[in-house]
Amino acid sequence: MRARNALAALGLAAGAATAAALWLRRGGAPREHVDLYFADGSMVSFEPGSLEGDRLLPIARRVLAAARG
Amino acid sequence: MDAAQALADLTEISAQIEAAVLAEADGSVVASTFRQEGRGEELARAAVDLVAAAGEARGNSGTPELVQIQAATPRGSLFVVRDESHMVAAVTGTKPTVGLVFYDLKTCLRMLEREEAKAEKPAKAEKSEKATTAKSKVGKAATSGKPTTTKKDEGGDEGS
């Protein structure tokens, strides 16, 4: 009985650790996107995979690479 | 305050901004925080490319003017803020406080605009002052000339 409880607690702890690691990893790496803001206050966001995102993000990557050297 | 000072103030105010470049709308660099001139030019050129590509992405006909861009990548973020005559592009680390960076960049552009307006005002005032002086000289000559002529004419009429 005691061994079973210990095993369950261990499993729970391992599950929690895995979930925490996944959550941190997801939160740690910022998602790529391009946000365009217009004079009338409207905003459009493009993500990788979209036509616009795939056109704009390489330019941004190039700029950042150039700026960082 | 000139453009370089505006940029220096910007990087001092905003700790998140790693590098920035202030350029004309066509991409010619006005001031840059980069030590190497080429890097500032490259960033400005790329910012112009990004603005052009973003304009095409949204479609140019009937859409409002594009004023701000933020591009986020795992290596950091690129911000571009523009007005009619200038644009400022800045590079930050990952996860910047977007609103704050935009606010600082807009403040930088506004400061530059205000300084340019101030610089233009004395020049305009000087021009208009010169014009007024010239006009008043002409006016005086005309007004002083008229009565003389009239008097002469009158005198001539009276004499004849």
Whether the CB of B11 is below 8 Å from some CB of chain A: the reply is no
User: For B68-77, what is each residue's pLDDT tens digit?
Assistant: 999 999 889 9
A39 and B65 within 8 Å at the Cβ level: the answer is yes
Instruction: Walk me through the domains of chain B, giving residue ranges and CATH numbers.
Output: 3-120 (3.30.450.30)
User: For A7-54, what is each residue's pLDDT tens digit?
Assistant: 888 888 888 888 887 776 666 666 899 999 999 999 999 999 999 899
Whether the CB of B73 is below 8 Å from some CB of chain A: the reply is yes
Whether the CB of A24 is below 8 Å from some CB of chain B: the reply is no
Q: According to DSSP H, which parts of chain A are helical?
A: 2-28, 51-68
A68 and B91 within 8 Å at the Cβ level: the answer is yes
What is the average pLDDT score of chain A?
A: 85
Cα of B18 to nearest chain A Cα, Å: 9
| Closest of B89, B59, B56, B67 to residue A39, by C-alpha | B67
What is residue A32's DSSP assignment?
P
User: For B94-153, what is each residue's pLDDT tens digit?
Assistant: 889 999 999 999 999 888 888 878 777 766 666 666 666 666 655 555 555 445 444 444
Residue A13, CA distances (Å) to A8, A18, A20, B47 in order: 9, 9, 10, 48
Q: Using CA atoms, how far apart are residues B74 and B95, in angstroms rounded to an integer?
A: 9
> What is the DSSP code string of chain B?
--HHHHHHHHHHH-TTEEEEEEEETTS-EEEES-SSHHHHHHHHHHHHHHHHHHHHHH-STTPPPEEEEEEEETTEEEEEEE-SSEEEEEEE-SS--HHHHHHHHHHHHHHHHHHHHHHHHHHHHHHHHHHHHHHHHHHHHHHHHHHHHHHHHHHHHHH-
Top residue of B75, B80, B81, B103 to mutate, by most chain A CBs within 10 Å, is: B75
In this structure, is the dihedral angle defined by the CA atoms of residues B99, B102, B108 and B113, taken in order, positive or negative? negative
- What is the average pLDDT across A1-12? 85
Q: Which chain B residues are closer than 8 Å to A32 by Cβ?
A: 72-74
B46 and A62 within 8 Å at the Cβ level: the answer is yes
Whether the CB of B60 is below 8 Å from some CB of chain A: the reply is no
Q: Domain segments of chain A: what residues?
A: 1-30, 31-69
pLDDT at A11: 87
> Does the complex come out with an ipTM higher than 0.85?
no
- pLDDT level of residue B80 (50, 70, 90 thresholds): very high
Whether the CB of A44 is below 8 Å from some CB of chain B: the reply is yes
Residue of A nearest to B20 (CA): A67
Cα of A44 to nearest chain B Cα, Å: 9
